[in-house]
Amino acid sequence: MTVLPTVDATDVVDAKKTFRRVKRHFSPALATAGKFTGQGAVEVAAEGSRVILSDGRSLLDFGSYAVALLGHGNPRITDAVRQQLDRMPASTRSVQTSVAPLAAERLAEYIGGGLDRVYFGCGGADAVEVSVKLARMATGRTTVVAVDGAFHGKSLGALALTDNPRFRNGLEPLLQGVVRVSPDDPEAVAKVVREHDIAAVVFEPVQAENGVRILDEEILARWCRDAHDHGAFVVSDEIQVGLRRCGPRSVALAAGLDVDGVLLGKPLGGGAMPVSAAVCNDRLFAPLLADPMVHTATFSGHPLSTAVIPVALDLIEQHAHDGERIADAMAQGLAELREQFPDAVVETRGRGLLWGVDYRSPEMAGDVLTGLAQRGMVVSPCLSRPTTIRLLPPIVATDADVKEAMTMLTDATAGADSGNGTPPEGT
């Protein structure tokens, strides 16, 4: 019998041992990246906008790739998890539970737009996969329209829609039948349907990974009309930008876009549980109405994950006005940053609680990332656009948090602009 090694409680916060384990069992590159961001320490706890490190320091979290919209460790979220954990954390999948249906009802009511059908996944790529699969089955067509610069995930199906050679190299051919269009072309979908019978148009109303690019709503409205005239579906991928990250509950529905599905994830689990959702109308969901077994997953509708959804949605709404306040402060602060460093900062752009800062070169953006790590702030770089740093403040951030974030960003930019990214002694 193999005896597994025990883990001493003190090992959990031993950074050197942790990095050795990462190198041994994951990837040396991940260890290097983690050492860089944590400045040699590892995460051990988190609360609100703060992440506590093994060396006692705390980081201001304006990153987390949009998961921590509600911050870390919200007591109502953790209470919901504990209560469900005590009752029934998993499901037999043979007998129905009340938890996922309640979450679906609450989510459908929250999103609106006549999107009453819900499929729960574990991550964003799950929601993308099922939406494409449903569109292809419902139409009997295989072609899907995606947008230049899109990011929809890295699973083999979702990756066919993702537009980044770094993630696709060595894996092609991927799912066949994806046609890419320019986000600036109102006629793009009309042109495609002249040559292809398309199943769906899939877009992100704000391309977060592509440097926070906001797509033109009038162009998207035209695409929706042209797709529907052709008998195709329209899906808005809001996994990173929905749920008030960019202001409204759904960016597409708030803009009046006629979509058949909205994809949600990241903060949907309250920053505690992994869960995603494809929220659809009856037409798109028709294959699952006809046969619910055509797409299943063991952990779809997992009770422990879906139990937090109603609580998370309530909390997001409670903080909606806070989000507006933070968004205004971020817009003003970044405008001042651009004015202060016109030779370093090419552009700032964003919406709500998602902002991108474009620097004049990838090297300068890298220097700013280094400076922020040294000063104690977590942000999210854009792998598809290395000149852009992505800022994702939580909706629970205080005025002091935003002020501190802007101070650190200003100081890091000043250091990079001067060619010296190291903070002064004592900072």
Residue 63 has pLDDT above 90, yes or no: yes
Average pLDDT score over residue span 252-266: 98
Do 427 and 400 share a structural domain?
A: yes
Do 353 and 309 share a structural domain?
A: no
Do 328 and 308 share a structural domain?
A: no
Do 167 and 36 share a structural domain?
A: no
Do 385 and 254 share a structural domain?
A: no
Is residue 6 in some structural domain?
no
Is residue 54 in some structural domain?
no
Token pair of 364 as six digits: 């300068």
Do 333 and 254 share a structural domain?
A: no
Residue 285 has pLDDT above 60, yes or no: yes
Residues of the domain holding 344: 319-427
Average pLDDT score over residue span 26-34: 93
Do 98 and 111 share a structural domain?
A: yes
CATH of the domain at 232: 3.40.640.10
Residue 322 has pLDDT above 90, yes or no: yes
Is residue 7 in some structural domain?
no
Average pLDDT score over residue span 30-36: 92
- Residues 380, 352, 340: CA angle, nearest 5 degrees: 70
Mean per-residue pLDDT of the chain: 94
Is residue 48 in some structural domain?
no
Band the pLDDT of 138: cuts 50, 70, 90.
very high
Predicted pLDDT of residue 427: 42
Is residue 4 in some structural domain?
no
Average pLDDT score over residue span 248-276: 98
CATH of the domain at 396: 3.90.1150.10
Is residue 55 in some structural domain?
no
Per the structure, how many domains does the chain have?
3
Q: Which residue, of 251, 283, 318, is where some domain finishes?
A: 318
Q: Which residue, of 286, 318, 350, is where some domain finishes?
A: 318
Do 189 and 129 share a structural domain?
A: yes
Do 299 and 254 share a structural domain?
A: yes
Do 360 and 248 share a structural domain?
A: no
Is residue 188 in some structural domain?
yes
pLDDT digits (tens, 9 = 90+) for 324-336: 999 999 999 999 9
Average pLDDT score over residue span 170-186: 94
Across-strand partners of 389? Answer: 357, 381
Do 412 and 349 share a structural domain?
A: yes
Predicted pLDDT of residue 11: 52
Residue 207: how many other CB atoms lie within 10 Å = 26
Calculated CA dihedral for residues 110, 116, 120, 123, nearest 10 degrees: -60
Bond preceding residue 342 cis, omega within 30 of 0: no
Token pair of 366 as six digits: 């890298």
Is residue 69 in some structural domain?
no
Average pLDDT score over residue span 67-90: 97
Do 218 and 82 share a structural domain?
A: yes
